[in-house]
Chain A
């Protein structure tokens, strides 16, 4: 299985801050990387596919980059509704695997 790691595991930020989350794969997954947002008690919400392609309806303050083994999710100006846990997921090989998550909370 391809192992996914994320850093940091949690971070505190203020509204308006720029936030960057890193995801790393245990082997190259090219650009087969997705990002999800999960709020407490809710199902994950799909944000980004192919490392950098925004799902329809996702605000443009979200962006993704990277390829190979190293990826980033950036929120350019954090909004109150962005406080959540973010997961990366590789879709390069079966089984699809998720990172452990990065919790973004209010400073």
Chain B
């Protein structure tokens, strides 16, 4: 089955750029949307954005000015860059596939599955 694995630095300095990569294995990266979701310690889940395998992106308006998500289909990877980070960006960052089903009249139910195991990124000097 499809598995996702996040990788990247666990510590980033304030004002710098957080960079993470998600590697997809056990299935093709094609024909799906791929998301980044984060969870500050002890808090809830926040969707950061997603990318289609063709490169089309959509970002959370709350982060849009600082986020870039890219995809490399040849490597079965997609990546997250979050600029100008502060302590508020400290979180576990997850990558996830947006799956869908029960489509009718051009509208589909969608959900996040599977997820990577998550990687903690701490913003600190």
Contact = CB atoms under 8 A, between A and B. Distances in A.
Interface of A: 1, 31-32, 34, 36, 42-46, 49-50, 53, 55, 87, 89, 91, 94-101
A49 B94 contact: no
Contacts of B94: 43-44
A44 B102 contact: no
Interface in B32-81: 44-47, 58, 60-62
A97 B116 contact: no
Interface string B114-125: 111110000000
Given A43-B96, A95-B61, 18 more contacts: A1-B61, A31-B109, A34-B112, A36-B112, A43-B116, A43-B118, A44-B112, A49-B101, A50-B109, A53-B102, A87-B45, A89-B112, A91-B111, A95-B62, A96-B47, A96-B112, A98-B45, A98-B46
B110 interface: yes
Contact of B44 (A31, A34, A100): A100
Interface residues of B, number: 22
B43 to A, nearest CB: 8
Q: Chain B interface mostly helix, strand, loop or mixed? A: strand
Nearest to A41: B118
A91 B110 contact: yes
A94 B35 CA distance: 12
Contacts of A49: 101-102, 109-111
A95 B60 CA distance: 6
Contact of A32 (B61, B101, B109, B112): B109
Indicate the member of A96, A99, A101 with the most B CB atoms within 10 Å: A96
A53 B100 CA distance: 12
A34 B111 contact: yes
B112 A99 contact: no
